[in-house]
Amino acid sequence: MENADALLLARIQFGLNIGFHILFVSITLALAWVLVYFRIMYSLTNKARWITSFNLWTRVFALTFAVGVVTGIVMSFQFGTNWPGYMKSVGNVAGPLLAYEVLTAFFLEAAFLGVMLFGLNRVPGWAHLGATVLVAVGTTLSAFWILALNSWMQTPVGYGYDGDEMVSLGWMDVIFNPSFPLRLLHMLMASGVTAGFVIAGMSALRLLRDRYDKAAYVSWRTGAMIAAWLAAGQILVGDLHGLNTLEHQPAKVAAMEGLWETQTRAPLLLFAIPNQEERRNDHEIAIPGFGSWILARDVDAEIQGLDAFGEDIPPVAPVFWAFRVMVALGLVMMVVAAYGVLRTRHGHLPSRCVLWVFVGMTFSGWAAVLSGWMVTEIGRQPWLVYGILRTADAVGPVGPARLGASLTLYAMIYSLLLVSYIVVMTHLARRGRRLRPFTEEEGLPVK
């Protein structure tokens, strides 16, 4: 019993940390490239609205990045404190991917972040633009390595054994494992949608205070435009990613669809309450055959149900529901962003009502990203590395008491951080206009 508690607590703790971490990373990943865009637009046009936007959003970036960094440091330790068995058994393959992330990405971001934030008047324009680009490259490289590792845990290939030690047989196979390219693309686009809504939401708040704030307007439109295009693109990429999962992790797809039995003409369930104990759904509302069509483009196709995988199935309800939340949010975000963009063609200003909707949806990307991660991570259970290492076999000797105590502390500090983050963001949005990058005496900053 104690072991089961410790396993559950270790998972909750790691999930809390990694879930908290992804909130901030999903913003910075795309925001870094938006900053590059603002910076280039400023160089090209020399208009104050672009550098004002750049200055406001670098501050947001710095804050968001700081929270991402500190929670990321926690993660590098929790691999050891919570899952010592993970590195013991697959460390020879997983370790180098993490090492490359630190070496190629972390230092790059951290060193050039200072120049990007504080260096506008200290270095030549090209060096400042270069620093901004390198920060963006760093964040993307970081995502590249961490998603290579995560994807390898979902679809492990390219490994073999030397005695009983697992080793890599080819690093290109390990890195470019079957689920990696689509997962990376799906995550990068999700980050774009998330950051787009954060930018549009905060800028909407500023536009509500001053309709003619040009910097807020260009930021708002940039955010809404990114969100609209990428949310639409996610329909295609998300579908391909799902088909990829069907090929490599059919049990996860069965859980996403709530299919307990292997069947032809599998339904698409609009609503159901999965009942794990009796391995069936209660209260189904279904469209017959549509599930088969989505997964195989053929209403008569046979789709494997959870019965094909014996006891090795994930908890169905959270996967089933998280999947629906993700898809629904994605569609709503696409419609809202596209509506906002279409209504403001030819320099039209958005109405107050539209602006308030964007303010309300500022952090909607967070909910979608978290649901997406719950689908893919809970859907992998009971495996930590699919088919190779069970989560239960990787957990460490730390007892439930210490795990519980530390979990409470983490939860407390993360709540404090989340509240402070949102308060500071609101505060920044309010005084955004007054963030002038330069004073009269100092003259114009370098272009």
- Residues near another protein (CB under 8 A) are 55, 59, 62-63, 65-67, 69-74, 76-77, 79-81, 84-85, 87-88, 91-93, 95-96, 98-100, 102-104, 106-108, 110-115, 117-123, 162, 165, 167-168, 171, 396-398, 402, 406, 409-410, 413, 417, 420, 424, 427-428, 442
Q: Identify which of residues 128 and 252 has a Cβ nearer to another protein in the complex.
A: 128
Q: How far is residue 436's CA from residue 54's CA, in Å, rounded to a whole number? A: 11
- Closer Cβ to another protein, 163 or 347, answer by number: 163
Give least dist CB 96 to another protein, A. 5
Closest CB 200 distance from another protein, rounded Å: 21
At closest approach, how far in Å is the CB of 48 from another protein?
Answer: 17
Residue 78 or residue 262: which is nearer to another protein going by CB? 78
User: Nearest approach, Cβ of 195 to another protein (angstroms)?
Assistant: 18
For residues 351 and 112, what is the distance between their CA atoms, to the nearest angstrom?
39
Cα gap 304→296, rounded to integer Å: 12
Closest distance between another protein and the C-beta of residue 71, in Å? 7
DSSP state of 157: -
Specify the residue, 60 or 327, whose C-beta has the smaller distance to another protein. 60
**SS3 of 165-227:** EEEECCHHHHHCCCCHHHHHHHHHHHHHHHHHHHHHHHHHHHHHHCCCCHHHHHHHHHHHHHH
Smaller CB separation from another protein, 93 or 129: 93
The SS3 of residue 69 is helix
- 246-251 contacts: CB < 8 A, separation 24 or more? 246/295, 247/178, 248/154, 248/155, 248/178, 248/179, 248/386, 249/154, 249/155, 249/179, 249/379, 249/380, 249/386, 250/304, 250/308, 250/309, 251/306, 251/308, 251/309, 251/312, 251/313, 251/314, 251/379
DSSP 398: -
In the complex with another protein, which residue's Cβ is closer, 44 or 70? 70
Which is nearer to another protein, 92 or 263 (by Cβ)? 92
Please, what is the minimum distance in Å from the beta carbon of residue 110 to another protein? 4
Shortest distance, CB of residue 345 to another protein, whole angstroms? 35
